[in-house]
Structure 1
Amino acid sequence: MLPGLALGAARWLGYLPGDCQGIEIAAEPGFVLERVGLRSSASVFAEALLKRPGRAAAALRAGLARDERRWRDSLRGACAVSPLARYPAWKASRLFRAASTEPRSGAQIRLVLPAPFAQADAVARSVASLRTQTHQDWSLHIAWTDGAPPTSPAIDGRVLSTSWNPAATLHELAGGADLFGLLRSGDVLAPEALHLLAKSREAEAAEMVYADEETAGRTLRPRLKPDWSPDLALATGYVGAPALIAGDFLAGLPAEPVDTPDALAVTLDLAVGSATRVVHIPRILCRREPVTADPAARAPHLDRHLRSTGSSARAALRDGRLDLQWPLPDPAPLVSIIIPSRDRLDLIARVTEDVLEKTPYPALELVIVDNGSKEPAVLDLYERLRLDPRVRIEPYPHPFNFSALVNAGARVARGDVLVLLNNDVAVLRPDWLDVLVTQAVRPEVGAVGAKLLYEDGRLQHVGAVVGLGGEAGHILRRRPADTPGHLDRLSVAHEVSGVTAACLAVTREKYQAVGGFDEETFAVDFNDIDFCLRLGARGWKTVWTPHAVLSHLESVSRGRPVGAARARFEREAAAFTERWRDVIRHDPFYHPALSLTTFGEELE
């Protein structure tokens, strides 16, 4: 996969087999190939040794073992991937701007910039960046928040300078323009920013269009945003700048005064929560001064907005962070927890105790789908478990097929909500099931995944990225459990493309609507991500939540595939790639400038 053009240009380093005779590139119109170079493996290895010795050592081990894929991926991870902290150097080698030959948009753009006099210098920087815009039909309303405006004449007729009017409505501030946006003092737009935003809005008939930004604090850092993610937007306001909202969309909002600049910012954030046609331009088009958000100040605005729209969700502060809290239905729906298992008393005894004794959810049943257990101790455990009316043991005496095991459990389950749970999972928080159910019963949600940790407490699962590692993979594996993630997204529930079946909740109705797991194509691997993507194709989004926390040993009962199992894995990987090629090209919740080679949020 070629990296995204977050800065207008990109560099790619790849491995060429010895019998390679040519390269074909699939690219959009306007693609320009500036330079091609051929490097020896020795030179790339030397660079890896200097940059990341640990990965160079891993590459050497793979090379000696003749593992070509691991060899090339280790070298790429060392030489072609940069940590986010090295963004300035990464940017310096990629920035490129060519004069656009596209026809200009005819859209009128109105921007509002509230600021106190003390930030006049920063305001001047913002005005200067507007005057360099290739899109000329814009106007700026500078609203001074601490008194009358300066008496000096405006340097540009498109700039209006007044005092902040607390009685002004959003409609009045927008001034009837085709597109409306909010700036902060010090925002510096790239010259092509308004042009690209306006053209994208026209092409997609969007209600809002936004792009990426960088923040200029002690060090320059990027803010690489996902495509439209409503839950994440409501909780974190990640959209930021630059962003333009369609005037006809604003016209449909209540004409209420916005008494403070903070209220204006939150009002715009919340207003677009109901938007359905939102376009993201994965390109850095604005530099902003960093501002520390105050979740406690945002929470009341968000809560009032949720109540006014009739949402059952409420704004909640968890550990100092703002999140959306969804209520548990009353009465609580029956949940069927489906656990495929075979032998391994140490695993099945622990997980059944955790479900039956450490999970206070009021209405649950446990369905163990047994795949031919023979250990006497396990069979004795089953006999004891059958005494509990909440437990059912469903035999599945056939060759191992994880998807078929899950489907067999779903057929006999009585619950309105199905929760798939691996036998190598341990409960860490008693409210885990409540949290999953509150998300799963939302009409717009399909699958829900949990935060899973390794036994040592490091991250194992915080959602899957399609395309990672070639097909799909878990992001940020083996990072500390409190890792916030880019844009602090790991602190709140948000949309992802897929979650693991090690702990996955879904309503029975939605499970049946897509035909359950595909046991013919994905007997062992990729079945959960394929399931999530099929739900997505039907209009149901997948959500990952950090508030359901469990421990997962990850395939400890099955081991790593070798021999015939490895061949089966490769067949399923090829089938997944063929079915979901478009999502592999672009996972909407993972920025295209981030690496698909490594398992961290690093720059490609």
Structure 2
Amino acid sequence: MTTTPGTFTRALEALRIDGPKRALAVLTRGLRGVVVSPGAGAVAAGPVPAAKPVVVALPSTSGAPLKISILMPVYNTPADVLEAAIKSVLVQSFGRWELCICDDHSSAKETLRVLEAYRGFDPRIKITRAPANLHIARATNLAAEFATGQFVGFLDHDDELLPHALATMAGAIEAHPDADVVYSDEDKLEENGSLSEPYLKPDWSPEHLTSVAYILHFMLVRKSLFFELGGLRHEFTGAQDYDLSLRATARARRVVHVPKVLYHWRKIAGSAAAVVDAKPQALINAGLAVRDVVCAEDPGAAVSPGLFTGSFRVEWPVDPDRPVTLLMLTDSRSKFVEGRGEILMVKHAIDSILTRSTFKNIRIVVLDNGNMLPDVEEELVSKGVTVKTYSFDPPFNFPRKINAAFDLVETEDVIILNDDIEVISEDWIEALLSHSRRERIGAVGARLLYTNDRIQHAGIVMGVNGPTTHIFHNQPKDDIAYCGYSHLVRNYSAVTGAVLATRMSLVREIGGFNPDLAIDYNDIDFCLRLGELGYRIVYTPFATLYHFEGSSLVRHSVSQPDQSAFLRRWGHLVDADPYYNPNLPRDRTDCAVGAW
């Protein structure tokens, strides 16, 4: 007879905390094929709610239909909100659920009265009482010991599920039988009963998750994986769910996002739902959870606070001895720029790079259209810049020029640059290379600002105000935007080619830029082709530069042949950008959601 993974470890933990009786129950339950009772304090009797159940067959070796176990630790919960939480499970349209409640040694009589009232009310409700106050992580793990479903979900004792929540999640599992983690969107439940702050999330975004706890509620984890990971970790109390989402997604075969609000997170004075820094130790533990996961991948990684409370910056190691080529295409034009006067853009850009950048192992290569004056070229060469001339027959084709420029690159790392940029953050090169040198990253883009300190680029999304757009365009740079997206390292389908870091091995793998897109969309197409091969596209606000493009997104009329060619190739993504929730607006760039 075999045991499920981690049985003996859990039995020893149960022996230490609860004594031999609990240890024996855990050990017995771990024997495959043996069914045990819920244990002391759990009752399985009473009527089944009248809601018609939805049964989903789970493709598995056992052939058993899918069952979802909801884990709910309870501690001195106000009676009305606890009852609301329980009722939100009872009314689920999906019938194959069980609610595993662990009373974490509550002393409040109103809490105990509610729990007692639901003993025996429904056979799917299992209630046990901890022998002492274990706190949320250990209490949740204790509740999980009675779970018999293939997936465990997490419901806080003062929150609520929507009636179709489990049915919707079950449908996602049925569509993706290899899913190990499934998560949904959520909103907040105000004290007056109204709903607010819808959190409409992107599909699975690894860099986004190490920047902020975006998965949150509602999350299901395959139970076998939950136990393999050792359940929730007490040392990360306050951020135990974030810690679990980091560890579970790192091990999952597939992570599935359900783009529907299925969970109401109740705002109560002093709760994290109401104020993000209501629990300072939770923020500390969240950072430790991120550090634990990223350092397991690379011990040299560093984690520091992000640009707003509750966010984090992961800095993957950057070898200073490994050079990078800064590849700049120019037509050697001058322009009047507010606060700077008339400038020769290529010279201004290179001067800012050389004087403000902290990463020094750079090779600057400039490809000019033949318009550069001899004295300018001489000055640039004296500063170590390689200047080459590009000859072409009209009409101009940007991909052909950039592909010719790639032939001049002798390093693996390359950062493509417009000539109308100016460095702001001194470690911008390190910020880009920190991600672009990672194996599964295809391209990395920067935060670009106009001279009035409004956002020119913070990532590109599909299907907003046309085929593509710069999200958060023209928003103030200090506005953290919807859910902090503009101030997070996160994933997008594409980033602009004005400042784009990648690797030459990837350029060769996809054949460079596509000459069929002579003027427009070629940088987006470059990113999408990388994404098609499984490489992730990353935006980082920690590489910030000025971009002297005009303050209007439409600097010229879009090339209709280019747009037609782009849509023929990528039209299926215009209404299905995985990093732009389908419930966010399509007619504005600030992600502002109307009345909720």
Question: What is the TM-score with the length of structure 1 in the denominator?
Answer: 0.76
Q: Please say if 1:382 is aligned against 2:371.
A: no
Identity in percent: 28
Amino acid at match of 1:495: N
1:450 corresponding residue in structure 2: 446
1:160 corresponding residue in structure 2: 127
1:410 corresponding residue in structure 2: 406
1:75 corresponding residue in structure 2: none
After superposition, the C-alpha distances for 1:324-365 in whole angstroms (9 at most, x for unaligned) are 422333344211111111122421121010112221212101
Q: 1:384 to 1:100 in 2, by over 3 A?
A: farther
Q: Please say if 1:293 is aligned against 2:276.
A: yes
After superposition, the C-alpha distances for 1:32-58 in whole angstroms (9 at most, x for unaligned) are xxxxxxxxxxxxxxxxxxxxxxxxxxx
1:21 corresponding residue in structure 2: none
Does the Cα contact within 8 Å between 1:234 and 1:269 map onto a contact in 2? Answer: no
Question: Which segments of 5 or more consecutive residues in structure 2 lack a partner in the other structure?
Answer: 1-50, 58-64, 268-272, 278-282, 335-342
SS at match of 2:474: coil
- 1:60-209 equivalence runs, <5 A: 104-105=56-57, 106-145=65-104, 147=106, 150=112, 152-154=116-118, 155-157=121-123, 158-163=125-130, 165=134, 170=141, 173=144, 175-205=147-177, 206-209=179-182
SS at match of 2:472: coil
Does the Cα contact within 8 Å between 1:114 and 1:261 map onto a contact in 2? Answer: no
CA RMSD of aligned residues (A): 2.7
SS at match of 2:78: helix
- 1:121-520 equivalence runs, <5 A: 121-145=80-104, 147=106, 150=112, 152-154=116-118, 155-157=121-123, 158-163=125-130, 165=134, 170=141, 173=144, 175-205=147-177, 206-217=179-190, 220-254=196-230, 258=234, 262=238, 264-274=240-250, 275-290=252-267, 291=273, 292-294=275-277, 295-310=283-298, 312-319=300-307, 320-345=309-334, 346=343, 347-373=345-371, 378-389=373-384, 391-398=385-392, 399=394, 400-518=396-514, 520=515
Within 2, Cα distance between the matches of 1:180 and 1:309? 26
Within 1, Cα distance between the matches of 2:236 and 2:82? 18
1:47 corresponding residue in structure 2: none
1:593 corresponding residue in structure 2: 583
Q: 1:310 to 1:502 in 2, by over 3 A?
A: closer
Amino acid at match of 1:267: D
1:84 corresponding residue in structure 2: none
Aligned length: 496
Q: 1:180 to 1:307 in 2, by over 3 A?
A: same
Does the Cα contact within 8 Å between 1:141 and 1:162 map onto a contact in 2? Answer: no
1:43 corresponding residue in structure 2: none
Within 2, Cα distance between the matches of 1:560 and 1:306? 41
1:37 corresponding residue in structure 2: none
2:16 corresponding residue in structure 1: none
Question: What is the TM-score with the length of structure 2 in the denominator?
Answer: 0.77
Alpha-carbon shift at residue 156 of structure 1 (Å): 3.5
Alpha-carbon shift at residue 261 of structure 1 (Å): 5.2
Amino acid at match of 2:161: L
Amino acid at match of 1:361: F
Amino acid at match of 1:450: A
Alpha-carbon shift at residue 439 of structure 1 (Å): 0.8
1:12 corresponding residue in structure 2: none
Does the Cα contact within 8 Å between 1:125 and 1:188 map onto a contact in 2? Answer: yes
Does the Cα contact within 8 Å between 1:119 and 1:185 map onto a contact in 2? Answer: no
Alpha-carbon shift at residue 108 of structure 1 (Å): 1.9
Within 2, Cα distance between the matches of 1:309 and 1:236? 18
| Higher RCO structure (Cα 8 Å, ≥6 apart) | 1
Does the Cα contact within 8 Å between 1:344 and 1:557 map onto a contact in 2? Answer: no
Amino acid at match of 1:596: R
After superposition, the C-alpha distances for 1:402-431 in whole angstroms (9 at most, x for unaligned) are 222222221111222110111111111111
Question: Which segments of 5 or more consecutive residues in structure 1 lack a partner in the other structure?
Answer: 1-98
